[in-house]
């Protein structure tokens, strides 16, 4: 009797397994489809997109849309392509990520190894700051940037991104250092090691993974930001996401879909490469940001 | 010997020891001060603005009480934005959770090629919403996208022009947003599933429970904390949704796809209604805090025990 039912179960499960594989593969196609559409159509001449089929491979392969998106496409009033904006984004991301990561590491260190009265309140306030809708700080931020003469500059954007990234970087390092044995810190303290010596010699050497997680998280968020970029950038500091949106949504002229797709891939490439090279750390960052374990 | 030389200076320089004691706070202070000013100070600033008659610039000379809030909730665009937020967030959260859980359970069946499939489900999370928006905007465009493809394959009557239709456009934004986030929810559930104690499952199997029953009665109820985390993350993303809407429809057709974030931006910087813009931002913050604060409180409080 039981053998028979097991038999049914196994036969059933072969059928069920087939369905599971089909569903999983269909979803893989769903997730890959937009990327496929972007890549394929960025390599076609414009006529082929208009008359042909978006899902078809190019009949006539061309890299002209890529060259145009990079260096000659009309963005706003200037036919300069996305290149200068790509550079703006790099100049904005690198210092902002470095600043927020370093401060986050020090904050995490203090909040776990040099606890003081009220440290939980300090941490709670920094944590809550991660989740505010940035609309609430747009007007005063614009005001402060204007008063300090940083409006429309890359420096201004760096500061804004570094400050509003502090909550998350502090959270990451705090949770990581929480698990680090405090006895080691106390022992070093008794041996006369200073605050910074302990950080540099004892915590930093084992912080590799969390630094990678934090840097990837900050890099992805700041590179992909649109709200701050569109609100606070000036003529010479427009980041790539804003330029891409200007390229695609400009109402004048012919819509060069192939150039739009090439531009979109260009904008996505840095974060995609980071994801492909170090996906494990990327996922860890996402999880750490979501589940405050 | 080494011990003596290292402890000696500390004993001699007693004043420096107090500096050492203060150092942690000195290191933390700038970050904390920045957060206090740029987050909490600015929230207060925006709060004041929402009670002021500010138009193009902040103006603290005229106070209008709750007038901005009254005008806000009587404005058809804000009502549209709230309706869109309701439609968007419910569908976004439900569909993402459903797809995420289903994919996680399927992937957890000792699937060959899991290491290949998982990164494919997750990569959209690495993209900017602007990139996602561009891809879906053109893919759903009737002129060149899906509709055109189906017709060129011979299905002449196929019609899919939601993105151009006021009533339906918000659903195209749901499609794109689900595409972007569902893989992430899958990863959260998968981590949850991998944490389930095998003993419980084995015990249930010995008792003769079918796989379906085990999932329905044991495993999915155990996923409650993951559901909660996913809900909090997705809800707060939904309330903030801005970039994707700008890239796909810029609020159009007409004002059909306005969201609260879009409303804030357009009224503050486009229509010189800074008071109303500030009021809308305050409402957005209250919505987010209503979800986040209890969550963080229970998470932090639970950990201390």
Average pLDDT, integer, range A125-148 = 92
How far apart (Å, rounded) are the C-alpha atoms in residues A245 and B124?
18
Asked if B135's CB is within 8 angstroms of A133's CB, the reply is: no
How far apart (Å, rounded) are the C-alpha atoms in residues A83 and B249?
25
Instruction: State how far residue B162 is from chain A, nearest Cα, in angstroms.
Output: 18
pLDDT digits (tens, 9 = 90+) for A161-214: 999 999 999 999 998 999 899 999 999 989 988 899 999 999 999 999 999 999
pLDDT value at position B302?
A: 53
How far apart (Å, rounded) are the C-alpha atoms in residues B70 and B72?
5
Asked if A166's CB is within 8 angstroms of B131's CB, the reply is: no
* Residues in chain B where the model's pLDDT stays below 70: 1-17, 301-305
Q: Quick check: A292 pLDDT over 50? A: no
Q: How confident is the model at residue A251 (pLDDT cuts 50, 70, 90)?
A: low
pLDDT digits (tens, 9 = 90+) for A36-95: 999 999 999 998 888 888 888 999 999 999 999 999 888 877 888 999 999 999 999 999
CB count, 10 Å around CB of A69? 27
For residue A78, what are the β-bridge partners? A75
| CB distance B248 to A264 below 8 Å | no
Q: Which of B236, B265, B263 shows the shortest CA–CA distance to B81?
A: B263
| CB distance B135 to A37 below 8 Å | yes
Which CATH number applies to B76-304? 1.10.3720.10
Say whether residue A197 is in contact with chain B using an 8 A CB cutoff: no
- Which helix (H) or strand (E) segment holds residue A233: the answer is none
Asked if A24's CB is within 8 angstroms of B107's CB, the reply is: yes
Q: How confident is the model at residue A234 (pLDDT cuts 50, 70, 90)?
A: confident
Of residues A49, A120, A245, nearest to B144 (C-beta): A49
Asked if B242's CB is within 8 angstroms of A226's CB, the reply is: yes
Q: Delimit the domains of chain B by residue range.
A: 76-304
Instruction: State how far residue A278 is from chain B, nearest Cα, in angstroms.
Output: 11
Chain A 68-87, CB below 8 Å of chain B: which residues? none
How far apart (Å, rounded) are the C-alpha atoms in residues B281 and B258?
14
Q: How confident is the model at residue A12 (pLDDT cuts 50, 70, 90)?
A: low
CA distances from A148 to A235, A237, A249 (A): 18, 16, 32
CA distances from B293 to B84, B161, B282, B288 (A): 24, 40, 15, 8
Chain A 40-69, CB below 8 Å of chain B: which residues? 41, 49-50, 52-55
The CB-side HSE value for A103 (13 A sphere, CA atoms) comes to 26
How far apart (Å, rounded) are the C-alpha atoms in residues B160 and B147?
5
Asked if B119's CB is within 8 angstroms of A32's CB, the reply is: no
How far apart (Å, rounded) are the C-alpha atoms in residues A288 and A168?
9
- Distance from the Cα of residue A51 to its chain's centroid: 36
- Which helix (H) or strand (E) segment holds residue A191: the answer is none
| CB distance B139 to A37 below 8 Å | yes
- Distance from the Cα of residue B110 to its chain's centroid: 31
Q: How confident is the model at residue A5 (pLDDT cuts 50, 70, 90)?
A: very low
Chosen for mutation from B128, B145, B234 (greatest number of chain A CBs closer than 10 Å) is: B128
Say whether residue A15 is in contact with chain B using an 8 A CB cutoff: no
Average pLDDT, integer, range A213-233 = 93
pLDDT value at position B57?
A: 85
pLDDT value at position A287?
A: 76
SS3 sequence, chain B?
Answer: CHHHHHHHHHHHCHHHHHHHHHHHHHHHHHHHHHHHHHHHHHHHHHHHHHCECCCCCCCCCCECCCHHHHHHHCCHHHHHHHHHHHHHHHHHHHHHHHHHHHHHHHHCCCCCCHHHHHHHHHHHHHCCHHHHHHHHHHHCCCCCCHHHHHHHCCCCCCCCCHHHCCCCHHHHHHHHHHHHHHHHHHHHHHHHHHCCCHHHHHHHHHCCCCHHHHHHHHHHHHCHHHHHHHHHHHHHHHHHCCHHHHHHCCCCCCCCCCCHHHHHHHHHHHCCCHHHHHHHHHHHHHHHHHHHHHHHHHHHHHHHC
Residues contacting A120, CB < 8 A, separation 6+? B300
B65: exposed, middle or buried (Cβ count in 10 Å: 0-12, 13-18, 19+): exposed
Q: Which of A201, A202, A203, A223 shows the shortest CA–CA distance to A211?
A: A203
Chain B 104-123, CB below 8 Å of chain A: which residues? 106-107, 109, 111, 117, 119-123
* A&B contacts, CB < 8 Å: 272
How far apart (Å, rounded) are the C-alpha atoms in residues A100 and A94?
10
What region does B274 belong to: left with phi over 0, alpha with psi -120 to 50, or beta? alpha
How far apart (Å, rounded) are the C-alpha atoms in residues A65 and A76?
18
| CB distance B99 to B185 below 8 Å | yes
Average pLDDT, integer, range A151-156 = 93
Residues contacting A97, CB < 8 A, separation 6+? A165, A215, A218, A219, A222
3-class state of residue A253 by DSSP: coil
Q: Delimit the domains of chain A by residue range.
A: 4-72, 83-291
Say whether residue B127 is in contact with chain A using an 8 A CB cutoff: yes
CATH architecture for residues A83-291: Orthogonal Bundle (1.10)
- Which helix (H) or strand (E) segment holds residue A231: the answer is helix A227-232
Say whether residue A158 is in contact with chain B using an 8 A CB cutoff: no
Q: Which of A87, A226, A278, A25 shows the shortest CA–CA distance to B132?
A: A226
Say whether residue A220 is in contact with chain B using an 8 A CB cutoff: yes
Cβ contacts of B147 on chain A, cutoff 8 Å = none
Asked if A292's CB is within 8 angstroms of B135's CB, the reply is: no
Of residues A31, A53, A133, nearest to B240 (C-beta): A133
Asked if A195's CB is within 8 angstroms of B111's CB, the reply is: no
Q: Quick check: A154 pLDDT over 70? A: yes
pLDDT value at position B67?
A: 92
How far apart (Å, rounded) are the C-alpha atoms in residues B76 and B67?
16
| CB distance B34 to B24 below 8 Å | no
Name which of A184-193, A253-262, A277-286 the model is least confident about.
A277-286
How far apart (Å, rounded) are the C-alpha atoms in residues B40 and B267?
23
pLDDT value at position A6?
A: 41
pLDDT value at position A38?
A: 94
Cβ contacts of B40 on chain A, cutoff 8 Å = 125, 129
Q: Quick check: A11 pLDDT over 70? A: no
How far apart (Å, rounded) are the C-alpha atoms in residues A271 and B232?
25
Q: Quick check: A34 pLDDT over 50? A: yes
The C-alpha R_g of chain A, in whole angstroms, comes to 25
pLDDT value at position B78?
A: 96
pLDDT value at position B10?
A: 44
Cβ contacts of B184 on chain A, cutoff 8 Å = 286, 290
Angle value at C-alpha A20, between A16 and A26, nearest 5 degrees: 145
Residue of B nearest to A40 (CA): B135
pTM of structure: 0.89
ipTM value, please give it.
0.89
Say whether residue B19 is in contact with chain A using an 8 A CB cutoff: no
More confident residue, A27 or A16: A27
């Amino acid at each position: 009797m039981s053998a028979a039912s097991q038999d049914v179960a196994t036969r059933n499960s072969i059928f069920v397994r087939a369905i599971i594989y089909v569903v999983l593969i269909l979803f893989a196609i769903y997730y890959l489809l937009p990327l496929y559409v972007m890549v394929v159509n960025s390599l076609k001449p414009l006529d082929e997109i208009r008359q042909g089929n978006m899902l078809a491979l190019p009949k006539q392969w061309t890299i002209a849309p890529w060259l145009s998106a990079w260096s000659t496409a009309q963005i706003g009033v200037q036919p300069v392509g996305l290149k200068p904006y790509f550079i703006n984004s790099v100049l904005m991301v690198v210092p902002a990520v470095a600043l927020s990561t370093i401060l986050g590491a020090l904050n995490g260190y203090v909040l776990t190894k040099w606890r003081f009265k009220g440290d939980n309140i300090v941490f709670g306030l920094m944590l809550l700051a991660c989740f505010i809708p940035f609309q609430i700080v747009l007007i005063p931020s614009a005001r402060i940037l204007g008063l300090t003469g940083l409006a429309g500059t890359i420096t201004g954007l760096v500061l804004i991104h570094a400050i509003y990234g502090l909550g998350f970087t502090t959270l990451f390092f705090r949770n990581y250092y929480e698990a680090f044995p405090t006895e080691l810190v106390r022992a070093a303290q008794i041996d006369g090691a200073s605050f910074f010596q302990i950080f540099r010699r004892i915590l930093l050497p084992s912080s590799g993974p969390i630094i990678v997680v934090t840097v990837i998280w900050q890099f992805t968020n700041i590179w992909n930001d649109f709200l701050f970029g569109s609100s606070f950038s000036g003529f010479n500091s427009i980041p790539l996401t804003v330029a891409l949106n200007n390229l695609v949504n400009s109402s004048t002229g012919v819509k060069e879909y192939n150039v739009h797709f090439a531009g979109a891939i260009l904008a996505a490439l840095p974060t995609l490469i980071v994801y492909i090279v170090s996906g494990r750390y990327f996922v860890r960052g996402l999880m750490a940001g979501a589940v405050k374990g | 010997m080494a011990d003596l030389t290292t402890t000696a200076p500390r004993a001699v320089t007693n004043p420096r020891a107090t500096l050492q004691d203060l150092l942690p706070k000195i290191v933390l202070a700038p970050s904390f001060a920045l957060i206090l000013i740029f987050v909490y100070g600015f929230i207060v600033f925006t709060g004041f603005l929402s009670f002021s008659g500010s138009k193009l610039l902040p103006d603290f000379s005229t106070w209008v009480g709750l007038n901005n809030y009254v005008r806000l909730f009587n404005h058809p665009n804000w009502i549209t934005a709230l309706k869109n937020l309701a439609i968007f967030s419910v569908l976004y959260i439900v569909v993402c959770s459903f797809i995420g859980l289903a994919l996680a359970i399927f992937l957890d069946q000792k699937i060959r090629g899991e290491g290949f499939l998982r990164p494919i489900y997750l990569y959209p999370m690495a993209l900017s919403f602007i990139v996602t928006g561009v891809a879906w905007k053109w893919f759903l465009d009737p002129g060149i996208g899906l509709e055109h493809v189906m017709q060129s394959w011979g299905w002449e009557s196929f019609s899919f022009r939601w993105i151009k239709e006021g009533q339906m456009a918000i659903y195209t934004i749901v499609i794109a947003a689900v595409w972007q986030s569902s893989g992430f929810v899958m990863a959260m559930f998968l981590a949850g599933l991998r944490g389930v104690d095998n003993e419980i499952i084995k015990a249930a199997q010995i008792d003769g429970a079918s796989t379906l029953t085990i999932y329905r009665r044991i495993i999915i109820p155990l996923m409650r904390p993951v559901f909660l985390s996913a809900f909090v993350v997705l809800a707060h993303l939904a309330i903030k949704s801005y970039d994707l809407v700008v890239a796909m429809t810029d609020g159009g057709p007409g004002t059909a796809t306005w969201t609260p974030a879009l409303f804030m931006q357009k009224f503050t910087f486009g229509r010189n209604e800074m008071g109303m813009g500030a009021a809308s931002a305050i409402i957005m913050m209250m919505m987010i805090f209503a979800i986040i604060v209890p969550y963080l409180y229970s998470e932090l409080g639970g950990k201390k025990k």
